[in-house]
Amino acid sequence: MATIRTLSHRLPSVAAYAVGLVVSKLVGLVMQPLLTRWLSPASFGEYATLITLANLISLIMLVGMVDSLYRFASDPKYPTARVYRSAWSLTLLTSVLTALPFLIWPQWIAAWLPGDLSAFSVRCLVVSLALGTHSALQLAKLRIDDQALRFLRVQVIFALAQGGFMLLLTPVMGVDGLMLAGVLAQAVQWGLLHRPCPRLTLADARLLLRYGIGIAVSGGVGFIAFGAERFVLASAIGTAELAVYAIAMQWAVAATLLLDPFNLWWFPQRFRHLQSPGGKAYVARMSIFGSQCAALIGAILIALGCPFLLLWLPESYHQASDILPLLAWMMVIKYLSTQLNTGCYYQQNSDLTMVISAACAALALLLMWLVIPRFGLYGAVWAGLLVQSCRFTLFLGFSQRLLPLNYPVYPLSKQLGGLAGVTLLQWFQARAAWPVSYTSALMSLLLLWMAFSLWQNWQRSHQPDVAYD
């Protein structure tokens, strides 16, 4: 009963965080139909190139400080206020040092990037990132202090400001207007969060850096395996193809947000359950349940997302609908790696995960060099599928060797079979091989069957001894 009361008390905060995160992350999706009509595919691809570069630069600017703050701010051995000020001061220092070359020599960066980008866009990008990294620490502190309503209020204002500035500036200035809109929205968020501004100190800098650098390196390695292909794609076949890839990937990544509530609950729980009697069986069942959820969401994304993109986007972007099923499979396989890797993360160190990530990054670089210049957009998609499949195989193999778990394979195989069926039906529908009404009815039946199977597995997951038929 105490657990239920605690959960009931926490639900409003959890809901506020969820709404805040969703609102801030979905601005780009809501603006897609307008942006794709204001910008040509080549221009949208240039914007996607800048966003990809932003993901890499933000890793350098943050140096893992958000994770370091989560780790040490609640540790009674260290004063919370001092840890926070040290993390913020380090972020301020790294962001300024990282931004200087981009502010001084933006024309060189613009010339190095694919497309026809301006020095103004590069300067706006780095200023927006600097302001965003400072705000990231403040948002993390709000979550630590459980100021959920303030977190929600700031995120909603930020999303409205970003959308408003996009509407005003993009039709007039194109990509430059998009980047300037980002700067202005981040400035609004910065002002809301930095009242008063933290005092500077580096008292805990060594402690925070020792923990944060490893996080940043892991993020950089992950970027190579899942992100760097956009640079190769834009350089090899142009920014117009990158625009199609970026739009479809944006929807695939947005669909995974539906899995975050389960992740937030389950990931902190699984290691605790391993210590209890019968815990291994429970962890195995719940990991499979999470994997089933991913398969169902992937199937829904394919069934609803593919026809929706044809209505949502202008004709020049319709190829995004063709590659969305493959990207959905890629995201499902990537999620399986995070669910079925308990043995790897149960160890006392993260050396094995670093090695696996580095091996997958090396494979990704090789495939980018060999496949994308020859096969273009579909080469990038199939290369990503192969890399994620190898990553899943390595994590599952080593995890089972270190901590054998008796995963109930049959429920997951049913869900993956349903996902394969939906994919095949969408393929027939896209090529007008079967009537739309026929394929839509069959897909609806498959989705209902997958949802029913998921509900059945949820019921069984809480029973001590379960036999899967």
pLDDT tens column, 70-108: 767 766 777 778 888 888 888 999 999 999 999 999 999
> Do 181 and 45 lie in a common domain?
yes
Say whether both 134 and 168 belong to one domain.
Answer: yes
Residues contacting 34, CB < 8 A, separation 6+: 166, 167, 170
Last residue within a domain, chosen from 212, 241, 261: 212
Answer yes or no: are the C-beta atoms of 162 and 26 closer than 8 Å: no
Query: Hey, how many other C-beta atoms are within 10 angstroms of the C-beta on 151?
Result: 24
When pLDDT is averaged across residues 207-231 and rounded to a whole number, the result is 78
Q: Domain containing 351: what range?
A: 226-461
Diameter of the chain by CA atoms?
68
For the ranges 202-216, 268-282, 332-346, the maximum mean pLDDT occurs at: 332-346
- Looking at residue 461, its pLDDT comes to 61
State the average pLDDT over residues 340-353.
70
* Average predicted confidence (pLDDT) for the chain: 83
User: How many domains would you assign to the chain?
Assistant: 2
Of the three residues 151, 177, 212, the one that is the final residue of a domain is 212
Q: What is the pLDDT of residue 274?
A: 74
Same domain for 56 and 172? yes
Please tell me the predicted confidence (pLDDT) of residue 287.
87
Question: Do 174 and 42 lie in a common domain?
Answer: yes
Q: Looking at the predicted structure, is the pLDDT value of residue 436 above 50?
A: yes
Q: Pick 276 or 168 by higher pLDDT.
A: 168
Token pair in block for residue 142:
């709000």
Nearest alpha carbon to residue 290 among 418, 449, 457, 128: 457
- Identify whether residues 408 and 285 lie together within a single domain: yes
pLDDT average, residue stretch 234-263: 82
**Same domain, yes or no: 260 and 135:** no
pLDDT at 463: 55
The CA distances from residue 287 to 271, 406, 435, in Å, are 12, 11, 38
Burial class (CB in 10 A: 0-12, 13-18, 19+), 399: buried
CB 394 within 8 A of CB 360: yes
Radius of gyration in angstroms for the set of CA atoms belonging to the chain, rounded to a whole number: 23
Are 329 and 441 contained in the same domain? Answer: yes
Angle at the Cα of 108 (from 105 to 112), degrees rounded to 5? 145
pLDDT per position as a tens digit, 409-432: 888 999 999 999 999 999 888 777
Domain edge (last residue) among 180, 212, 244: 212
- Least confident segment among 158-162, 223-227, 360-364: 223-227
Distance, CA of 443 to CA of 437 (rounded, Å): 10
Residue 118 is assigned to a structural domain of this protein = yes
* Residue of 316, 330, 322, 323 lying closest to 239 (CA atoms): 316
**CB of 346 within 8 A of CB of 365?**
no
64-73, 297-306, 459-468: which is most confident: 297-306
Q: Quick check: is 234 in a domain? A: yes
Asked whether residue 152 is assigned to any structural domain, the reply reads yes
| Within-domain flag for 353 | yes
- Answering whether pTM is above 0.85, one says no
**237 or 12, which is more confident:** 237
Which tens digits make up the pLDDT trace of 302-327?
999 999 888 888 888 888 899 999 99
Same domain, 410 and 262: yes
